[in-house]
Structure 1
Amino acid sequence: MNKTKELLITSFALFSLFFGAGNLLLPPLLGYNAGSDWFWVILGFVITAVVIPIIGIYSHAKLQGTLFDFGKKVSPVFSFIYCILIYLIAVAIPSPRTAAATHEIAIHPAFGTSPLLTSSIYFILVFVFALNRSKILNFIGKYLTPLIVIMLLIVIGIGLGSSQMITNTSQFEAPIVSGILEGYQTFDAIGAVVVGAVIIISINIKTDASFESKKALIKKSGLIAGLGLFIIYAGLISVGAFYGSEININKDLSSDMQRAYLLRGVSIKSLGAFGNTVLSVLISLACFTTAVGIVTGTADYFKGLMRDSKTVYGVTAFIACVFGVVVGQLNFNAIIVIALPVLLFIYPITIVLILLNAIPDKWASTLVFRAVVCLTFLFSIPDVLNFLMPSEALSSLINIIPLAKYSLGWILPTCIGFILANVTLKRKD
């Protein structure tokens, strides 16, 4: 295959595996609520929804192994537990969420069917694609992603061109932090460590190129996919902000319906009545490709644990799809609420593992990995507990820890731990 063509197909496939329900629904409402602070919200959102995920793809290019390799320097036991948690979270939250979004925005308004019927048909198709994984990269890269990107750019381009560009007053006290935390909900950092492995296995199936050639391909694909994500996210947040004065969202609606209502309103204002059809197709395609990537990545991991057993691959894919059918019947907002404490715990650990695997090995020894991950884990606990069972004692603790009131209390201790661990190693040398 021509190298340029292979690069584009891989880049498109990677973008599409990232871009799912949350990626489409979260940015417009974020921009709407940010109003005049839309630029700062974009900056925060991009950190956790673009920069960290693309560094994650770079880490995969450097390792060219599995998710297990991300945490093995901490310890094999830690890495095994981390992998199980990541894949359980992936099949329990972001994968079913794609079915919930497809039902609420694309299927139910048009056909009035039950969420059970939608999620059942949806995950039957996901299962069929997962069983034919060797064709996934080409099909998604050649056909589905270009269609998704073209439709998104049309909606954003016409939307920005026809908007009055008048914004509301910002509802955020700290817009950058709000953008960072909302970026958690895209699951893109977790997506990076899951679908990055899918890309590597798909490339290995198709080619026997050298390690360095595959590394270059994956790195370039990650940068192109990241640029695409940045353009789409910035566009969707901007559109949400600039239509703030033109589309009135009913504050009594649930958050998921606000997101759907706003996105539908922007599509209709951009493309007229045809906008509803465009939105339905867009949601369905974007969500479907992400679900396929998650189920495939999970099945790949457990297949690798069992000596490349095809039976294990099929059984895992089937169980993941059954799980998707069950959880996919919940509404989109309910799944987001369930996800938040999980994300406050697992996202910081995922971020530090991505960063540690991306930097030169001389700065990321076993000691550094252990110190940084332990500190991240410890200082993420107050955030989770404060969400689940807030108390005065927790509030007092959170007020002491820098940035903890923004659910980012892990950042400073982690940075200090990284520096001290490296200084300790240099002194020993």
Structure 2
Amino acid sequence: MSSIGTLWTTPQQFSGKRIRAVAAFGGVSVDLPEKYTHFEDNKKPEFLAKFPHGKIPAFESKEGFKLTEGAAIARYVAARAPNSTLLGSSLEEAALIDQWVSFADSEIGAHTYLVFQLVRGILTPYAKPIHTAFTDRQIRSLKTLEQHLATRTFLVGERITLADITLASVLQLAFSVTIDAPLRAQLPNTLRHFNTIVNQPQLKEIFGQTEFCEKQAQFTPPAKEKKEPKPAAAPTPKAEKKPKKEDDDEDDDLVPKEEPKAKNPLDFLPKSTFNLEDWKRAYSNKDTRGANGSLEWFYQNFDAEGFSVWRVDFKYNDELTQTFMSSNQIGGFFNRLEASRKYLFGSMGVLGETNNSIISGALIARGQDIKPVVDVAPDFESYEYKKLDLSNADDKAFFEGALAWDLEIDGKKWVDGKNFK
């Protein structure tokens, strides 16, 4: 089996495992460095000279072609595999394979990884509503997958493709973190598909043993450091010893006390006649445009004193590459806005094409200042916010286009979008 290049990864990295599996199934091989220590070797000048971002997986072909990002490397390796069907046998099959690769990464893999970071204390502070939101969205994706696999052996066509191997690599992590025994019982087709892929003779050694969790990983607060009791001060002659209360607990200071929940400043605003939850239901259940559409409902009920409408634009569009990755970025931004869900509605999208796209959209926010609503997201400053005047024709057209997902800016048409509701 001929080697096509060198892959820098770690044994635990699921995207690296995916690339190795694709190579093995396609009949080619990739070399691994003899020694690689993550967080050390990828910071060295010789590594950064090849891969300036310092990120793994990273790949260099025998011809000197360099590539990063797991999905891109896996696709390239699949294309180098002779006589393989990993990328499909028609343009339509290739498109469906790309669709399921993106679905596995953005809808299952991303939410698994975010939950993993939350429960391990990597993403701080821990917030139960955000944990629940990530889990709920992953479960919705798994149900879609389960329904698709109910009548199919593989995701696309009648043979294993890049989509199947990608999904298996993503599910292996999810099975150990979020997909516990009760949830697995609801996913017989997904579990059957996973076992089919990871037990292929070429792949069994790469995937190894899967650790199935019995209960979804949960956050455990760090133990409170026990304080040494301070030596009692000698009483003054006039000091009177206060009687100890019968229900006094000597260890009260060692028991975590629940802090009173701070009120959000937005809760002190005058009550509004515009019910945001009613609007979210109207938007979800009605056509956006047309008679009796959600936009008509909005204009009939909107309270311009209690709420404001904003245009939001990503500041660093020149860094955007694949449109599906930009869509995932919007999803991540919305996930980090979870704490403001009761104050906010959003509709944002990717406009343009690969390597020539922008992120833009509209927000409906409580109050007249956007910052208290969006600053719960650590990356809120990566976006520009402009208040829209709906009596202005251009602002109104932008707002309606963002909500209807037919917005067009400088010739760039809407290709994908997400809602925050």
Instruction: Indicate the TM-score class for this superposition, using the shorter chain for normalisation.
Output: under 0.3
Where relative contact order (Cα < 8 A, 6+ residues apart) is larger, the structure is 1
Structure number with bigger Rg: 2
Which protein has the bigger helix share? 1
Q: TM-score, normalised by structure 2?
A: 0.25
Which protein has the bigger strand share? 2
Q: TM-score, normalised by structure 1?
A: 0.24
